[in-house]
Structure 1
Amino acid sequence: MTIKNALRATAYQSRLGLEVLPGCNLLNLTDAQKHELKQSLWKHGVVVVKNQNLTASELEEFARKTFGSLMFGRNSFTLDPDITPDIQSQYTAILGNPKGFDQEPAEKIYGARVWHQDKDGVPRIEELDMNALYVVMLYSIKVPEEGENGQPHTTEYLDLVEAYNNLDSSQQQELAEISMYQMSPIFARPNIAWDDAPKKVHPIVSTHKVTGQKGLYLGSWNTAIPLGMENQREAAQKYWQDLFETVLKRTPVYSHVWEPGDVTLWDNSQVMHRGTFYDSTQYQRIALRLGVVDC
């Protein structure tokens, strides 16, 4: 386990990143194993199942059998004839550079490489509230030989239950009185009017549907706007960034070091995450991402 925060490397025992179901095949879980997996996920926020060998369709099958049929994605991802069918399916997104090395390196800070919660998609679904148990799973097929600064390739996670507990009691009380609009990422497009942006209101201090634990729900820097600041977008972003800076200084970061065959699942009700940079002109990454709401 590798842990770091914004200021220094530190020895730290995180509840995130528990390895579960060693030696299992996710396609053949018993009801008892499915229950164990879900209970571990709600308790630990991030869990890892190692040594899997799955196609994209099999990853979908596992998600449906374990969590339910409400998945996120477009009506259908377009299948690419230049990519093997084994890593393509209706709801599974391919992350990385599956066709080989890129001609130009990607920007280091963009999209999934900034801190966020994937529940930004929930406002688009009328029957869901912002506390919906939206689980994302990421299956690593090919891992870059190195990530940033010669270190292993990782995804970073931030425990928002611990983040809440690390705040002063006065800050906890202050945040308990504040709610935010949470928008779909479509809101970040400059041509989308406020009234047309899918959005729901949610308190910053969130209570988990299963565990009852209090934690923070922050969303993303460009899609979360405090109630009353709808017409003060720059001030709203500064409020979010100042709050997140406080959280990040007080809360260590769990960094999952990827190995081929890892399936990492995380509960967006409890954690934020971000991807980390790798040089796609020298290394190849292939990972499959799928999101599902537990029903």
Structure 2
Amino acid sequence: MLTVQQHSRLGKEILQDCDLAHLTMPQVQSLKQSLWEQGVIVVRKQKLTASQLKDFAIKTFGDTNLGRRPKPFDPEIDPALQSPGVSILGNPKGLTQEVVGKFAWVWHHDKDHLPKTEGLDMNALYVVMLYGVEIPAEGIDGEPHTTNFLDMMEAYQNLERQHRQQLEKQSMYHLSPITPPPGEDIPRKLHPIVSTHKITGRKGLYLGSSTSILQGLEDKPQEAQLYWNDLFATILDCTPVYAHIWQPGDIVFWDNSQVMHTGMPYNANKYKRIALRLGVVNH
């Protein structure tokens, strides 16, 4: 696996010296255009409350509600970090082994949350923004703290032509990665492995996560797991991984129709990490 900190497309910094809480409409349109073109973008040096982040998201992309039940406010966490629909990832209460969001330390698309929302097209443009309020000095490997991304448009192009043609005929079933409450069923939805982006028209791969099941292997879980692992290993072998190095105040946006990502572990007994996460369906 080749990991790079500069990528030809992913990770472009935009809107330097701006305040996302007070963007003009031309700036909003510029941000969205950059996101569709680049797949991953970053705006640095922001100082927003959770409520300001949510207001910005609604102004830019539309409704932020994906059917999630709002959580009650936590009196042990700064109220400025809390707003309905905004998740707090990391260890906001201080040094501890308990990390919120550790399940995201595997490769995945966040669009696998979408089966929880009835009537929503699995090819919908689901954008996630992650705001780094407090950043660990390093990951567990001693390197800078990063979130890693894979360009799935590039991955599609890097595959051999015959392999691309084969994948274009196949689909996978996807489940939400979050376990539902007892007695609640989450529908499983089908998504083509090769899909066409709704705005750019470019083709890319959509793999979900390792729980995805190739259509036709519904009753063969071991074969489905092996198929996913082999396909993902092939992609990793031919596509560089972009590592975004976090700085406090960064807001990273990614288009889940274009990229996979993984959070990277850090020592929560040694460092504090606070990140605000918000997912939106572009309307």
TM-score by length of 2: 0.94
2-structure distance, mates of 1:159, 1:80: 36
2-structure distance, mates of 1:10, 1:89: 34
2-structure distance, mates of 1:11, 1:137: 19
Relative to structure 1, the CA distance from residue 12 to residue 167 in structure 2 (aligned partners, 3 Å threshold; closer, same or farther) is: farther
Relative to structure 1, the CA distance from residue 90 to residue 9 in structure 2 (aligned partners, 3 Å threshold; closer, same or farther) is: closer
SS at match of 2:85: coil
Contact in 1 for aligned 2:90/2:99 (Cα 8 Å): no
2-structure distance, mates of 1:172, 1:294: 28
1:165 corresponds to which letter in structure 2? Q
Contact in 1 for aligned 2:134/2:274 (Cα 8 Å): yes
Correspondence 1:68 to 2:56: no
1:249 corresponds to which letter in structure 2? D
CA RMSD of aligned residues (A): 2.0
1-structure distance, mates of 2:214, 2:87: 31
2:43 aligns with one of 46, 49, 54: 49
Q: CA deviation at 1:105?
A: 7.2
1-structure distance, mates of 2:196, 2:111: 15
1-structure distance, mates of 2:125, 2:269: 37
Mapping for residues 80-229 of structure 1, pairs under 5 Å? 80-102=74-96, 104=97, 111-186=103-178, 196-222=185-211, 224-229=212-217
1:19 aligns with one of 13, 28, 36: 13
2-structure distance, mates of 1:148, 1:154: 11
Relative to structure 1, the CA distance from residue 71 to residue 11 in structure 2 (aligned partners, 3 Å threshold; closer, same or farther) is: closer
Residue equivalent to 2:252: 264
Contact in 1 for aligned 2:91/2:98 (Cα 8 Å): no
1-structure distance, mates of 2:229, 2:189: 20
Contact in 2 for aligned 1:206/1:216 (Cα 8 Å): yes
Contact in 1 for aligned 2:167/2:194 (Cα 8 Å): yes
Relative to structure 1, the CA distance from residue 99 to residue 105 in structure 2 (aligned partners, 3 Å threshold; closer, same or farther) is: closer
2-structure distance, mates of 1:43, 1:100: 38
Deviant stretches of 4+, over 4 Å: 8-12
2-structure distance, mates of 1:126, 1:90: 20
5+ unaligned residues in a row in structure 2: which ranges?
none
Contact in 2 for aligned 1:73/1:91 (Cα 8 Å): no
SS at match of 1:72: coil
Q: CA deviation at 1:221?
A: 0.4
Identity %: 54
2:225 corresponds to which letter in structure 1? Q
SS at match of 1:148: coil
Relative to structure 1, the CA distance from residue 286 to residue 110 in structure 2 (aligned partners, 3 Å threshold; closer, same or farther) is: closer
Relative to structure 1, the CA distance from residue 110 to residue 98 in structure 2 (aligned partners, 3 Å threshold; closer, same or farther) is: closer
5+ unaligned residues in a row in structure 1: which ranges?
1-5
